[in-house]
Amino acid sequence: MVFESLVADLLNRFLGDFVDNLDASQLNIGIWGGDVKLENLEVKETALDDLDLPVKLKFGYLSSLVLKIPWKNLYNEPVIATIDGLYLIVVPNKGVVYNEEKAKKNAAEIKQKTLARLEEARKNRRKPPDPVQDSFAEKMVTQVIKNLQVSVGNIHIRFEDKYTNRHRPFVAGVTLEKLDFQTTNEDWIPTIHRDVVKIFHKLVLLDNLSVYWNSDSELFSDIHDKAEIRRKLTATIHTGKNPPAGYKYILEPISMQAKLKLNQKPETDGTNWQTPKIDLSVDMKTLALAIGKFQYQDILLFLEAQERFNLAGQYLKYRPNLNEFKGHYKEWWHFAYKAILEEKVRRRRNNWSWPRMQAHRKLVREYRDAWLKVMTEKNPGAAVQDIIKKGEEQLDVFNVNVARQQAEMDIDRKGLKRVEDQPQGWLAWGASWFGGGGGGETPSAGKKKDFAEQFNEAMTPEEKAKLFEAIDYQENIPPTNYPKEFVENKFDFRLGQVAVIVDGAVSLFLLDLRAAVEQRPSASAMNLKSTIQELRMDGCGAEMLRVRDPSKPWLNLCVDTNPLHGKYDQSVQLAIAPINLKYHAPAVNNAADVFKPPESVKLNQLTAAAMSRYEEVKARSATGLAHAVENRSRLVLDIQIQPATIYISEGGVYDANKPTLLADLGLLSITTVESDPDGYIIENGQRRQATPQEIDRINQYKQAVNDYMRKVNGYVGDWVNTMFKDLPFNLGQSFPTMPNMPPMPEAPCLCSSQACGSQQPQQNIIYPPSSQYDQQGSYQTTGAPYGSSYQQNSNQPQYQQSDSQSAQYNGRKK
């Protein structure tokens, strides 16, 4: 009876808020009978109003919703859900009215979610997740996937905007013909398993998922007849091979097939760890992205409109509820005056007033002490809860987080024991299984219980025992430890073609993409193999880019971490075949014209977000590199990028009969040579053990190289920051030149003679312990400009080294 009541309550709450003509009594009868069938449901136009979004629902309709729930044999028979004919039209919300109570509620919910994420991350750092709970959750998810069958068809969600660009209104939408998630047998034929099977199969079929963007298009929201709107939305779904007329897709209709094998108990399947727990293969024919000039301009204008909406959000409380300026000048001038006065002048004065700072510090200290009691006492009392509530209402996320961190430090300093580390009762432990959490959490006042909490409270011990039996879960039994060689997860992906099309300019094609990933979580290992057979690009109907030998893959990539043989920690192998690129001026000019933004567009927030993301990626890369150096991870590189040849003919269009400039970019080869962990020297072709003094000298050189690379990173980082500043919308600016690099540190002389002087040094190479340096003291890098092979011989410049000279090329400074 637990499931029936909970599902009935959940559906009534969800559908009641969004559906107009819902018969609650009929819904309850259907749920208790295990067969729910709802048809011709009209979605309320107010369905999105509580979310305060920049859009509102203009039209909503659901043709059919069917649920079949086998209550008598819920754990063995499938639950079937079918949705057919969902049609939505969304338009910009130009009439957003400020509601103080709703705004405070939304801000409080966002703050609580942020604090919950921070607290969860803090708990995970302090104490790793319990593997027993992870095992239970994993088995629950597996059981849901096993018994659930979903079918979704005829979906059309459309956005219409006639305000952003009044001269050229645009519409954008997502359409889906069909999505099926079915249980099959081992031959991938749909079936229903009534007996227990060791490996069950799931088949996912996706047909004609597409995204369109039409400029200067008909607006369905202006039609008053709802039946006509439904007919038009149905007729404009891409079905089969019949696209609707006049529609321009930025994501062409895609079809996909995914096959999933789930091995519930690999330790008892009888294959000796040869069958993965998860084996997923995905096959997609074509993935095509396209964009035109008007589409690009409409996207920029739409993003700018969203920026304006977000910027106006903080002033919405002062805005008059008016849509016109004429005749209401006094109200609008008063709005401007009050917005600046409250958000700039008074706010700054209040923040820097002494009484306010004193009250703020007092509240932070009170919150810190109250949070310490919440974390260490099972029943902290109503007064403590009041302080917690007051602090989380008045303090921002930063100050609340700082106070909590200070409380955590006090707990550790005083040696107190947290509630979650104290002995728990059976009910608290059971609640943690269903996401209720253990101790240490502070329920907000008046907070509604979520579905998991209701589910846990309503289930009797007999029902829980039946659930544990169905998912094959046993209490107090630790999860299975898999051997390191066991491939737990296996993924295969195949894509016939990727197309990127700039309308009227260039078309780029990647043919026959394949990727295979194998994961061994017990050893924190992964192996990735990927290939791309061919690369092609055409411009204005003419060939621009071709692979020289189409019979061989253009790209081969292999990434391996923590292999079983243990010879290295990471390995990257990359091979790119040579290509011919023919410059085609009309195609390049047309592409530049497509991506030329309107002069009025200035996406300041998007630019700031992009630069912030760049800084974050740069910081993570530097931290990761420093971590790799500190932990001496063994990285093996084998990168071979074959030369690309560029043809530029007179007149800008390639013609074999015209004078042509030929540029060969040459071969780039980066490889790593393994070193002896004991350290040795190769002297006159003989191998001998390195002395401690020689190892010290080479280690000093390594430190000098590391310092040099940090300097270079600073130079290059400043240059890149300057060059890419405001790049997305100032493409015509002149970039700064690359700064002069600091001189490379001088390599140590390892001559066998005592006095080196001006003698020609011998070719002595030292390999320090645990180093990743090859015979040049670094990664091997060769460049062959203009296609010539780059090898040192008697006719090419040689490095000369002495105590008084840096590395030179025939007397010229490098």
Secondary structure, 3-state, 767-793: ECCCCCCCCCCCCEEEEEHHHCCCCCC
- Compute CA distances 54 → 165, 526, 592, whole Å: 16, 43, 32
pLDDT band of residue 786 (cuts 50, 70, 90) is: very low
**Across 762-780, average pLDDT:** 39
pLDDT at site 99: 78
Q: Is the dihedral of CA 460, 464, 469, 474 positive or negative?
A: negative
pLDDT at site 249: 95
pLDDT band of residue 229 (cuts 50, 70, 90) is: very high
Question: How far is the C-alpha of 172 from the C-alpha of 189, rounded, in Å?
Answer: 37
| Residue-wise pLDDT tens digits, 73-116 | 766 778 888 999 999 999 988 766 777 887 888 888 889 989 99
- Compute CA distances 724 → 371, 721, 730, whole Å: 45, 5, 9
Evaluate whether 218 touches 201 at the Cβ level (below 8 Å).
no
Residue 809 has pLDDT above 50, yes or no: no
Residue 648 has pLDDT above 70, yes or no: yes
| Residue-wise pLDDT tens digits, 29-58 | 666 667 788 888 888 887 777 666 778 889
Question: How far is the C-alpha of 79 from the C-alpha of 147, rounded, in Å?
Answer: 6
Helix (H, G, I), strand (E, B) or coil at 374: helix
Strand positions, DSSP E, 12-114: 35-42, 55-68, 79-92
Helix-strand-coil percent breakdown of the chain, rounded to 5?
Answer: 35, 30, 35
Cβ-proximal residues to 747 (8 Å cutoff; 6+ apart), any chain: 701, 777, 801, 807
pTM above 0.75, yes or no: no
Residue 695 has pLDDT above 60, yes or no: yes
CA 192 to chain centre: 35
Residue 520 has pLDDT above 70, yes or no: yes
From 438-447, 545-554, 712-721, the region with the lowest mean pLDDT: 438-447
pLDDT band of residue 258 (cuts 50, 70, 90) is: very high
Cβ-proximal residues to 585 (8 Å cutoff; 6+ apart), any chain: 651, 652, 653
Element (H, E) at 538: strand 525-539
Through-space distance between the first and last CA atoms of the chain, rounded to whole angstroms: 82
Cβ-proximal residues to 620 (8 Å cutoff; 6+ apart), any chain: none
**Across 108-137, average pLDDT:** 78
Mean of all residue pLDDT scores within the chain = 78
Evaluate whether 255 touches 180 at the Cβ level (below 8 Å).
no
Percent of the chain with pLDDT over 70: 69
Residue 558 has pLDDT above 90, yes or no: yes
From 133-142, 190-199, 356-365, the region with the lowest mean pLDDT: 133-142
DSSP classification of residue 432: H
Evaluate whether 149 touches 80 at the Cβ level (below 8 Å).
yes
Residue 238 has pLDDT above 60, yes or no: yes
The residue extents of the domains of the chain are 34-99+132-309, 314-351, 492-596+634-665, 674-814
* Number of Cβ atoms within 10 Å of the Cβ of 810: 8
Residue 672 has pLDDT above 80, yes or no: no
Residue 569 has pLDDT above 90, yes or no: no
* Number of Cβ atoms within 10 Å of the Cβ of 236: 20
Question: How far is the C-alpha of 231 from the C-alpha of 648, rounded, in Å?
Answer: 53
Paired residues of 62 in beta bridges? 41, 86
Residue 684 has pLDDT above 60, yes or no: no
Most confident of 144-158, 449-463, 772-786: 144-158
Higher-pLDDT residue of 705 and 760 is 705
Residue 628 has pLDDT above 70, yes or no: no
Residue 27 has pLDDT above 80, yes or no: no
Closest among 186, 159, 27 to 93, alpha carbons compared:
159
Residue 131 has pLDDT above 70, yes or no: no
